[in-house]
Structures are given as structure tokens and as C-alpha cells.
């Protein structure tokens, strides 16, 4: 009898990558592979890379070196966004056996059947314009929360972003298939689904990117609301121009869609937003926040913001700071701009010195801390529902309120993976 082969994964980057790794792992397990931890010895190692992370190349090299030290005979496969963007660079890393681009990622099982340890790495990749089709994915870490990918790729051309080059045009799953996945997840005891995509609000473009289903994100959430067994949904991140009044009002009415939005702003200066090629101005953003807070005063709003984009002057940064300060938002995710090959932003001058980028990052992180404190203080005394995770750490368990406040309390088995009424202290 043939020996059972084992596989271990390592994921870099975003929730989408985590959900895809999870699906790749289930695919290979179904093909007969035994799943191992990355720290263990395995016959095959798969690294799912990210293009947003700084030093993707360095991280990848380090991971491959670690594998070579502990298991020099094992096969090493690199996939994900960075593998699509820089296949040759990755193939040149000593010890890499196979590089899989965006189109080939989900064919990993077939590739592994033919792969043997050799001298140089094989590359299986195509131009990103030719990538089509949609592979649905979801992660199941514990049963409490799962990330369900419903959309992939992006048709926007933001000046700082490489994601469209790494993931291709905007494509989505069909509503029917998403509902089927949600039912499967409900059947396996999952309580909360986080809807995930690259440009989630653009949901509705077919697997070839051009064809429109008679479907939209608004329709998707209305149908998901009816799936039995799922207690909660969250919308992972949605562009402000695509977050319509209809969607906001539906979330306000729904018992299952949580009062929580994550809306990228990127800059509070209209001039910088224009250079970034974003599809809105700050006035639209402020209006969306107002609509949300009018219908759901308790709603959590998270904001992505980039500091140090080329041409961002002290005046622009102050505009951003004051704009964020004035908005009724709950927390920020602050990113420091860093140069990426083949992006439009490289043509914009002047470049912001690195130390200034870091200072600005610090100032906004400080603002985020204050916003979160204030938001939590506003909720004091309110009773909110907390979904506790089935995980003990130093005798404690953790969970989130519907409006995304993190709660920590001594572990109680009967609360694990359950929704519990909780008064905010
Ligand atoms: S919307 Fe802009 S930032 Fe977001 S993935 Fe698309 S191009 Fe990148």
C-alpha cells in the first residue's frame, strides 16, 4: 500500500488568504493527504503568500529556509498573490519546487500528483488578464466564526494597490452557491459568518468578470438573512461608494446582520483621494457615516487609512486627522504607504520621507485608541449580545459583542460557541 503523504500550510496576509488556505487544505485532505502543523515534518509544504505585506519576498525566503533545515526532502509549493506577481523571483529561491499562480491555485492536487523533488522550480502561472472562474472558500478554525469568500478580484484602479494585478478582474459566486455554503456551515455548527471578498460591494459580476448575474450585494444579504441556523453575519470591508442606503437600512432592520461596518477611507483629503484614484470624496464618506449612525447609533464603524501616500503634505495629513476626529467612528486600521512595483503611485511626487510616514502612523494609531475607548464608554451599561469563542487562554475566554467590542471573562464551558446577554461595564 502506498504511504499516506502529509501536507502543512503557512498563510501570509488577509482573511481571504486564510479562507483559501483552509479550502486548499480540505481539498488535499479529501485527496488522501494527512494535515500537519507547519512546525511539524511534512512531505509537502504550501506557503500562501500576500502582496500587501512588506517583505513578502524576505518572509518567503525565511520560511523556505526553515523548511529546508528540518525537511530537505520535502516538496515546497508557493502560491497566492505574491506568487502571481513575481513568479520568477520566487522560483529562484533555493528549495522551491513549484510556483502556482492565481489560476492554478485550486488545481494544487493535480500538480502534486506529478511533482517530484528536482533541481529547479516549476512555474504554473498565466497573465492575470486570463484568470477567470470563481472558487468559493471558507475557513473553519473553531466553529464560532468562519470567513466565507463570496467575491474575488477588483476592477478598480487605486494608485497604491497591486491586488487587481494579483487577483484579476472582479468575479463572484452565485447567490445560490453562497446560500448552499451558508447552509453547510450552519449544519456544522458555525454561528457567525464573515462575508469576505476583495471588493465585496461589487458582488454580482459573474465568474468571467463581465457577465452580470441578476444579483447584487443587497440581494445577497437579504437571502442570507433567511438561512436557518446562522445567528450572525458580518460584512468584512466595503467601499463607501458601494455601501448604499438600502444596505445600511437592511442591516439596521436585520436581526442577523451585526451593527458593524468596516469602510476604507484611505485619506481625509479630497486632493489625495483624487490622486489615489478612489471613487468617492470625503463628503460622501461623512454622509455614509451619518446615515449609519442615524439608524444604528450603537453601530461600530472601522476605518482603513493610509499615511504617507506620495504628495501627502502636512496640510493634507492634518485634514485627514481632523476629518477622522470629527467622524463618529469606532476604530482605525492605519497602514503606512510603501512603494509597490507597477503601481501608478510610483509616478506621484514628492515622496514622503519614511520617518514622517511612521510619525503619522503613530498619531493616527493614538487617535484610534481614543476612538475605541470613547465608543466603548458610550456603550457602558447597555446590554449587548456576545458570541463567545470555544477557546481557553490562561483560564479566560473571549468574544465580541454584536457591535464589535471585545469581551474577556473567566472560561465557562456552557458559554463556548454560544450567544450570551452581556452588560457592558
Ligand atoms: S478597491 Fe482599490 S484598494 Fe481595494 S482591491 Fe480594488 S484597487 Fe485595491
Ligand 1 neighbourhood includes 156 CB (under 6 angstroms): yes
- The CB of 238 under 6 Å from ligand 1? The reply is no
Q: Does ligand 1 come within 6 angstroms of the Cβ of 161? A: yes
Measured in Å, residue 264 CA sits from the centre of ligand 1 at 10
- The reported pTM is 0.93
Q: Which three cell numbers stand for residue 288?
A: 455614509
263 lines ligand 1 (CB under 6 A): no
Contact 80, 137 (CB under 8 A): no
Task: Provide φ and ψ at 193, rounded to 5°.
Answer: -115, 130
| Atom nearest to 155 CA in ligand 1 | 6
By most ligand atoms within 8 Å of CB, the mutation choice from 161, 243, 335 for ligand 1 is 161
Atom of ligand 1 nearest to the CA of 198: 5
Q: Are 262 and 304 in contact (CB under 8 A)?
A: yes
d(CA 264, CA 280): 11
**Greatest pairwise CA separation for the chain in angstroms:** 70
Does ligand 1 come within 6 angstroms of the Cβ of 273? no
Which atom of ligand 1 is nearest the CA belonging to 239? Answer: 1
Q: Which atom of ligand 1 is nearest to the CA of 161?
A: 8
CA of 206 to the centre of ligand 1 (A): 18
Atom of ligand 1 nearest to the CA of 277: 2
Phi, psi (rounded to 5 degrees) for 238: -140, 135
Q: Whose CA is nearest to atom 2 of ligand 1?
A: 158
Answer yes or no: is the C-beta of 199 below 6 A from any ligand 1 atom: yes
Print pLDDT tens along the chain (425 aa).
678 999 999 999 888 999 999 999 999 999 999 999 999 999 999 999 988 777 777 889 999 999 999 999 999 999 999 999 999 999 999 999 999 998 889 999 999 988 888 767 788 877 777 788 888 898 876 668 899 999 999 999 999 999 999 999 999 999 999 999 999 999 999 999 999 999 999 999 987 766 666 789 999 999 999 999 999 999 999 999 999 999 999 999 999 999 999 999 999 999 999 999 999 999 999 999 999 999 999 999 999 999 999 999 999 999 999 999 999 999 999 999 999 999 999 999 999 999 999 999 999 999 999 999 999 999 999 999 999 999 999 999 999 999 999 999 999 999 999 999 999 98
pLDDT at residue 38, as a whole number: 95
Strands 44-49 and 6-11, how do they pair? parallel
**Beta carbons of 45 and 67 less than 8 angstroms apart:** yes
pLDDT of residue 211: 62
Q: Are 100 and 79 in contact (CB under 8 A)?
A: yes
Q: In angstroms, what is the span from residue 186 Cα to ligand 1's centroid?
A: 31
Q: Is 158 in the pocket of ligand 1 (CB under 6 A)?
A: yes
221 φ, ψ (degrees, to nearest 5): -70, -30
Give the per-residue SS3 of the chain.
CCCCCEEEEEECCCHHHHHHHHHHHHHHHHCCCEEECCCCCCCEEEEEECCCCCCHHHHHHHHHHHHHHHCCCCEEEEEEHHHHHCHHHHHCCCCCCEEECCCCHHHHHHHHHHCCCCCCCEEECCCHHHCCCCCCEECCCCCCEEEEECEECCCCCCCCCCHHHHHCCCEECCHHHHHHHHHHHHHCCCCEEEEECCCHHHCCECCCCCCECCCCHHHHHHHHCCCCCCCEEEECCCCHHHCCHHHHHHHHHCCCECCEEEEEEECCCHHHHHHHCCCCCHHHHHHHHHHHHHHCCCCEEEEEEEECCCCCCHHHHHHHHHHHHHCCCCEEEEEECCCCCCCHHHHCCCCCCHHHHHHHHHHHHHHHHHHHHHHHHHCCCCEEEEEECCCCECCEEEEEECCCCEEEEECCHHHCCCEEEEECC
Cα(110) to centroid(ligand 1), Å: 32
Does the C-beta of 163 come closer than 6 Å to ligand 1? yes
* Distance from Cα 278 to the centre of ligand 1, integer Å: 9
Per-residue pLDDT at 28: 96
What separation in Å is there between the alpha carbon of 262 and the centre of ligand 1?
Answer: 14
| pLDDT score for 346 | 97
CB-based burial, 315-335: b 16+ in 10 Å, e otherwise: ebbebbbebbeebbbbbbebb
**Which residue matches cell numbers 510556483?**
99
Amino acid at each position: 500500500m502506498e504511504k499516506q503523504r502529509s501536507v502543512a500550510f503557512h498563510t501570509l496576509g488577509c482573511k481571504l488568504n486564510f479562507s483559501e488556505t483552509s479550502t486548499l487544505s480540505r481539498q488535499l485532505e479529501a485527496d488522501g493527504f494527512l494535515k500537519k502543523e507547519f512546525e511539524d515534518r511534512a512531505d509537502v509544504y504550501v506557503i500562501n503568500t500576500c502582496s500587501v505585506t512588506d517583505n513578502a519576498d524576505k518572509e518567503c525566503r525565511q520560511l523556505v529556509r526553515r523548511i529546508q533545515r528540518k525537511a530537505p526532502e520535502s516538496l515546497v509549493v508557493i502560491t497566492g498573490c505574491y506568487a502571481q506577481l513575481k513568479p520568477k523571483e520566487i522560483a529562484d529561491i533555493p528549495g522551491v519546487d513549484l510556483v502556482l499562480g492565481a489560476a492554478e491555485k485550486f488545481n494544487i492536487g493535480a500538480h502534486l500528483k506529478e511533482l517530484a523533488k528536482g533541481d529547479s522550480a516549476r512555474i504554473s502561472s498565466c497573465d492575470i488578464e486570463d484568470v477567470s472562474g470563481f472558487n468559493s472558500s471558507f475557513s473553519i478554525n473553531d466553529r464560532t466564526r468562519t470567513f466565507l469568500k463570496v467575491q474575488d478580484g477588483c476592477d478598480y484602479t487605486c494608485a497604491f494597490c497591486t491586488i487587481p494585478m494579483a487577483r484579476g478582474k472582479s468575479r463572484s459566486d452565485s447567490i445560490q452557491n453562497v446560500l448552499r455554503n451558508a447552509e453547510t456551515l450552519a449544519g456544522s455548527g458555525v454561528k457567525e459568518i464573515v462575508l469576505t471578498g476583495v471588493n465585496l460591494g461589487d458582488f454580482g459580476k459573474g465568474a468571467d468578470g463581465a457577465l452580470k448575474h441578476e444579483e447584487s450585494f443587497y440581494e445577497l444579504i437579504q437571502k442570507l438573512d433567511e438561512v436557518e441556523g446562522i445567528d450572525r453575519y458580518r460584512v468584512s470591508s466595503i467601499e463607501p461608494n458601494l455601501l448604499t442606503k438600502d444596505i445600511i437600512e437592511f442591516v439596521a432592520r436585520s436581526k442577523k446582520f451585526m451593527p458593524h461596518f468596516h469602510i476604507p477611507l484611505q485619506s481625509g483629503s479630497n486632493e489625495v483621494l483624487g490622486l489615489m484614484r478612489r471613487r468617492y470624496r470625503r463628503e460622501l464618506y461623512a454622509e455614509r457615516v451619518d446615515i449609519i449612525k442615524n439608524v444604528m447609533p450603537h453601530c461600530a464603524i472601522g476605518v482603513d487609512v493610509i499615511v504617507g501616500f506620495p504628495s501627502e503634505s502636512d496640510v493634507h495629513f492634518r485634514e485627514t486627522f481632523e476629518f477622522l476626529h470629527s467622524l463618529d467612528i469606532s476604530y482605525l486600521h492605519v497602514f503606512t504607504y510603501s512603494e509597490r512595483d507597477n503601481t501608478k503611485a510610483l509616478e506621484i511626487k514628492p515622496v514622503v520621507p519614511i520617518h514622517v510616514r511612521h510619525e503619522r502612523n503613530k498619531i493616527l494609531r493614538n487617535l484610534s485608541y481614543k476612538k475605541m475607548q470613547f465608543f466603548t464608554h458610550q456603550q457602558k451599561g447597555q446590554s449587548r449580545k456576545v458570541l463567545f469563542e470555544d477557546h481557553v487562554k490562561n483560564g479566560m475566554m473571549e468574544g465580541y459583542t454584536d457591535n464589535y467590542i471585545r469581551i474577556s471573562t473567566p472560561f465557562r464551558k456552557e458559554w463556548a460557541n454560544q450567544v450570551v446577554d452581556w452588560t457592558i461595564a
